[in-house]
A and B are shown apart, each in its own frame.
Chain A
């Protein structure tokens, strides 16, 4: 989902570690090296990588100034996937299995034979199915050391964190409530107190749930 859409969803991250001063100089080639690779002419199930923020067909990042703005790095994560509908797969596997039975004159196929037929059918079907692209905008706010990713999908978040690390050599931490709370603590004592905070008890029933939580 794009940040420029009328309705957007996003996940926030803290940047761990200090990036170099001149990001464009340091990272243009790394972004190009991790650019999206097109799977259209292959039988691969999934292709993943960076494309330009305002043009998801471009993986050139030329000029790099369109990606490395004054205090932002803007990219789009593109993930293309081929998926075979289950009923289509079942139909073609059955056809192949029936043909194999006729050819060999046998009624029952071994597990290995069925697996081999399934794999071949899958490979043939994947080559015929067009990949579907999904796009997720990324905005790295350099002065704030924060990153926004335009999705809330856990699967995409994992792919994104991995690719970000591979590209920039920097780790990200999800801005979840406990992590965010730590940043508001003024000293080690407060951090220790924050770590010990227990679930609040707002009602008699939640106090008696007996879920193994300790309550105040």
Chain B
């Protein structure tokens, strides 16, 4: 299977991850904790792009409230991209993450204070690496749960309950 076919064939993994992330973020009140990164806040930030492959004409559109997102997932729509705000101590990142290839868009990082060109580059790369580290650690947690049938069943139950929140 070519890499592009593999990406398409396994696209549900990213969709399930972002659904899990949206649910966990709200269930945990935004407070996340992963071993390598410690505590940080991750909250849904006003925009999710969803699609429904089940409809004859694929529907893709923006949804801006978490209630609407829950309603859309209940009707079988899938998350394609979501916008988040992540805060760790005094640092804040805003970004969109897509489910197909984990590309980051619209990334706004904490302010860079360095003035010399190479220092600015290294500092910018540090804050981008930090952001990637947070997301990778969350994805690693998702993978651990996904690999363990009992653990994943508990997560799915929690997400189903979350979908019925009003």
Which of chain B's residues have a CB closer than 8 A to the CB of A199? 12, 15-16
Known contacts: A178-B10, A211-B53. The answer to whether A9 contacts B107 by CB under 8 A is: yes
Assembly CA distance A202 to B120 (angstroms): 44
Closest to B156 in A: A200
Alpha-carbon separation in the docked complex, A38 to B38 (Å):
49
B142: nearest chain-A partner, CB-CB: A181
Cα separation A3 to B14 with both chains bound (whole Å): 24
Q: Is the CB of A152 within 8 A of B105?
A: yes
- Given A3-B125, A205-B74, A11–B146 Cβ distance below 8 Å? no
A202 in complex: contacting residue of B100, B118, B129, B156, CB < 8 Å: B156
User: What are the residues of chain B within 8 A of A4 when measuring CB–CB?
Assistant: 120-121, 124
Task: Give min CB distance, A62 to chain B, whole Å.
Answer: 17
B106 and A181 within 8 A (CB):
no
Is the beta-carbon distance between A176 and B163 smaller than 8 angstroms?
A: no
B residues 109-130 touching A (CB-CB < 8 Å): 109, 117-118, 120-121, 124-125, 128-129
- Which residue of chain A is the closest to B72 with respect to CB atoms? A203
Cα A193 to Cα B143 with chains together (Å): 11
Residue contact A12 to B106, C-beta cutoff 8 Å: no
The answer to whether A72 and B125 have CB atoms under 8 Å apart is yes
Residues of A in contact, count (CB < 8 Å): 44
Q: Is A74 an interface residue (CB 8 A)?
A: yes
Complex Cα distance, B152 from A198, in Å, reads 12
Are A203's CB and B75's CB within 8 A? yes
When the two chains form their complex, are residues A202 and B147 in contact, meaning their CB atoms are under 8 A apart?
no
A124 at the interface (CB under 8 A from B): no
Are B17 and A177 in contact, CB atoms less than 8 angstroms apart? Answer: yes
The complex places the Cα of A178 from the Cα of B143 at a distance, in Å, of 10
Q: For this complex, into which size category does the number of interface residues on chain B fall?
A: 35 or more
Interface with A: B25-33, B82-90, B132-140, which one?
Answer: B132-140
Select which of B14, B53, B104, B105 is within 8 A of A177 by beta carbon: B14
* 8 A Cβ contacts from B39-92 to A: 53-54, 73-76, 78
CB-CB < 8 A to A177: which residues of B? 10, 13-14, 17, 99, 101-102, 139
Our pick among A176, A178, A193, A210 for the contact of B147 (Cβ within 8 Å) is A193
Is there contact, CB below 8 Å, between A148 and B128?
Answer: yes
A181 pairs with B121, CB closer than 8 A:
no
- Contact in complex: B101, A11 (CB < 8 Å): yes
A9 touches B163 (CB 8 A): no
Partner of B121, one of A74, A175, A201: A74
List A contacts of B156 (CB < 8 A): 200-202
Measured between beta carbons, the chain A residues less than 8 angstroms from B7 are 174, 176, 178
> Which residues in A have their C-beta under 8 angstroms from that of B120?
4
Using CB atoms, name the residue of chain B closest to A208: B76
Which of chain A's residues have a CB closer than 8 A to the CB of B24?
none
Q: 8 shortest A-B CB distances, which residue pairs? A: A205-B76, A178-B10, A199-B12, A177-B14, A177-B13, A206-B76, A209-B54, A9-B105
Binding site for A on B (CB under 8 A): 3, 6-7, 10, 12-17, 19, 53-54, 73-76, 78, 98-109, 117-118, 120-121, 124-125, 128-129, 132, 136, 139-140, 143-144, 146-147, 152, 156, 159-160, 163
What are 6 residue pairs bridging A and B, where the CB atoms are less than 8 Å apart in the complex?
A8-B128, A9-B106, A11-B101, A141-B129, A181-B146, A205-B74
Known: A8-B128, A139-B125. 17 other contacts (CB 8 A): A3-B124, A3-B128, A6-B108, A8-B104, A9-B103, A9-B107, A54-B117, A72-B125, A176-B6, A180-B102, A185-B147, A194-B147, A199-B16, A203-B75, A203-B160, A206-B73, A209-B76
